[in-house]
Structure 1
């Protein structure tokens, strides 16, 4: 879902081969409307992109409309269903990566063409963006940008503990955090219900939150591999004083870190600005490193947030809509967006463009291992009920892990399989 003012968008283009067009073709002239979510791109980026697109497409009017997240689902569904008020439609829409299946189930999203996949560099797409955009073997979402969690650390506390380089694997991470956890100082502030972080640990172990079998989704938190992920979370969480019955927003972990006695938190790098605003004395003293994996060869798995782009089936100008996406995912504009907004580009081959931005650079290795939540159209209902949070609290307070996981998995299965 969304964090750090970052969400995702899914996009789709219909079988353009049948329309005689392919990605990157000259869409001709006319008006094309692009919906972007508030905070996804700066005003300067939008102005530059609009001017360049219209220059490359003489006679074309590109209208960019900024949308609020609140109530966006109803607005998108109105467009997809052809029920938007006159003049309120869209040809390309940014949506959340984990919302793709939900919109596809509702109907009205175009499937991406094979021509588009090749043109847009799909073989190098970040899986955490591309996988949620694929439903039943068909691609509907075109990845636009990504953001994920990293470890934000206090350089002074690391130096005082004799830790010269950030850890690259779990064993070294635990050892370093043990050194940092002393007296009034917390080795790490990890709230007991940060389930997005848990998801990464579960995926690293080869486990899943839920799996689809024979067309039916079932919870998988009680499987051995998923339980191993929870066990590591428990080890790490014990090396600090994070609450066992609250998430990262209760209280906001950036405020806790800003007090100066926390060595690490796991968060999007954008939270560094919040920390520095709360405690200016920490400016220049914050570092970033990818969430360590089980070995030093690759970073740990993380939940990927970001955006995909979709094209409604009822677009007024399909060719221009495809050209808008082609431009937005091009190396030129991917580089501009990543550097302007400190995002991770949509392709692994563009990871180098954020070199020099410490926070974004730390995201890139994790983004390559990024994942998203299960592609069920009803996963949003699971998050609303969220049986994972009390499961985590139960384990951290000494209850039987397998029994607690089974109860959570049963609830997940019930929600995903229930009739609306």
Structure 2
């Protein structure tokens, strides 16, 4: 761990030394903390309330929030953390922390996260990708993950009076829905995030790290069992075998009204209701079932972490902002305002009154993230998992298809 607290010796209590640690107000008696947040991560109303409250509680501090676009953000953040005097706090995707940490330009937040932020209760899908080599660089901010959205009327018509609690029951109910004349489920053939959950639930991995080297792991017996379940579930609907959930947009397919189930994040509900407002009171939700009752399936957790660059001009004030945004009060308010899962499992009751979000929080307790390699973004850029899934769904030898995809992942992660 870096000796960051020794950077300004107590014996040298000069204005210059304190300013170098980000401890003194800036010009005019006020220090400005520059914050980069992503488009649509928080509403303007939430940001206005947070800004006013934080400034009222911290004399001489002003917050300057700049909204960034996701397109091209990787290059922009990398340039900012490598250059002089970048922003003080940056929101990044949870799976992006590794690539920024690889620059060696992020501030070590390990001590602060353990001491003040209750890290033992963080959602694993946010905490784990923020931790590189035992060092915490990213502080969990908010999460979202997939659940099952279902059509209540179609369930009722098929004689199903409660959601399935296990994967076996899920398959049986989906077959029953098909027999009753509806499409039991719509699942695109290349929805690799959903596949990841099945692989993790079986004890498999997308890739594994040993001695600093990453190796693709889709060809392990556990990972192949996850793919086998995906194939069985996907065959119970008419989803394309060679396209992902955006082609066509699966929310539009579900909105037609004859599909009983969809695996998606609750954010899909807005698109469903826009296409078919008549479904407003007909939607229900349940966690993706796991192998055993009472234990939802592992799920991919999307969301954001907060990082502080080494070059942050106002580091001490930046830490105050991160601790506030990641603390119980503002986590609760953000989750309720935006329909997110709070960053701690213990805060799940905060969204108990929001049905879809509460179901999402139940699954998030078993959330995971993609392999914590700086090169994983390159794997996704030319994603070999998608053609692997299509190959298996079309009847190719699963072992050979998995071996081929794993080799491609290994090659990319080694670059």
SS at match of 1:247: coil
Q: How does 1:41-80 map to 2 (within 5 A)?
A: 41-80=42-81
Shift of 1:118: 2.2
Distance between the aligned counterparts of 1:15 and 1:174, measured in 2? 55
- The CA RMSD measured in Å over matched residues stands at 1.6
Write out per-residue CA displacement over residues 348-396 of structure 1, whole angstroms, 9 at most, x where no aligned residue. Answer: 1101100110110010111000000001101011111111111111111
Write out per-residue CA displacement over residues 262-313 of structure 1, whole angstroms, 9 at most, x where no aligned residue. Answer: 0001000110111011011111111111111111121110000001000000
1:35 paired with 2:67, answer no
1:153 paired with 2:156, answer no
Change (3 A) 1:15 1:327: farther
What residue in structure 1 maps to residue 17 of structure 2?
Answer: none
Write out per-residue CA displacement over residues 195-239 of structure 1, whole angstroms, 9 at most, x where no aligned residue. Answer: 000000000000000001221101000000000000100111011
Distance between the aligned counterparts of 2:276 and 2:6, measured in 1? 58
Aligned with 1:181 (options 163, 178, 181) = 178
Distance between the aligned counterparts of 1:81 and 1:27, measured in 2? 22
1:18 paired with 2:19, answer no
Q: How does 1:199-214 map to 2 (within 5 A)?
A: 199-214=196-211
Q: How does 1:83-102 map to 2 (within 5 A)?
A: 83=84, 89-102=86-99
Shift of 1:189: 0.2
Change (3 A) 1:41 1:14: farther
Shift of 1:92: 0.3
SS at match of 2:259: coil
Distance between the aligned counterparts of 1:144 and 1:312, measured in 2? 16
What residue in structure 1 maps to residue 326 of structure 2?
Answer: 329
Aligned residues: 398
Aligned with 2:166 (options 161, 166, 169) = 169
SS at match of 2:367: coil
Greater shift in the superposed pair: 179-188 or 51-60: 179-188
Distance between the aligned counterparts of 2:158 and 2:3, measured in 1? 59
**Contact 1:354–1:360 at 8 Å: present in 2 too?**
yes
SS at match of 2:214: strand
Q: How does 1:128-139 map to 2 (within 5 A)?
A: 128-139=125-136
Change (3 A) 1:240 1:15: farther
Distance between the aligned counterparts of 1:113 and 1:177, measured in 2? 46
Distance between the aligned counterparts of 2:3 and 2:324, measured in 1? 19
What residue in structure 2 maps to residue 361 of structure 1?
Answer: 358
Change (3 A) 1:49 1:16: farther
SS at match of 1:66: strand
SS at match of 1:390: helix
Shift of 1:169: 1.1
Shift of 1:16: 4.7
Q: How does 1:261-280 map to 2 (within 5 A)?
A: 261-280=258-277
What residue in structure 2 maps to residue 229 of structure 1?
Answer: 226
**Contact 2:113–2:139 at 8 Å: present in 1 too?**
no
Distance between the aligned counterparts of 1:389 and 1:62, measured in 2? 43
SS at match of 1:167: coil
Shift of 1:184: 5.1
Shift of 1:183: 6.5
What are the ranges of 5 or more consecutive residues in structure 2 without an aligned counterpart? 10-21, 26-30
Distance between the aligned counterparts of 1:250 and 1:138, measured in 2? 39
Distance between the aligned counterparts of 1:383 and 1:183, measured in 2? 39
Write out per-residue CA displacement over residues 236-270 of structure 1, whole angstroms, 9 at most, x where no aligned residue. Answer: 10111111111000000000000001000100011
What residue in structure 2 maps to residue 197 of structure 1?
Answer: 194
What residue in structure 1 maps to residue 410 of structure 2?
Answer: 413
Aligned with 1:374 (options 371, 375, 381) = 371
Distance between the aligned counterparts of 2:6 and 2:250, measured in 1? 52
What residue in structure 2 maps to residue 10 of structure 1?
Answer: none
Write out per-residue CA displacement over residues 66-85 of structure 1, whole angstroms, 9 at most, x where no aligned residue. Answer: 1111111122112111257x
What are the ranges of 5 or more consecutive residues in structure 1 without an aligned counterpart? 1-12
What residue in structure 2 maps to residue 220 of structure 1?
Answer: 217
**Contact 2:198–2:298 at 8 Å: present in 1 too?**
yes
Shift of 1:181: 1.3
What residue in structure 1 maps to residue 123 of structure 2?
Answer: 126
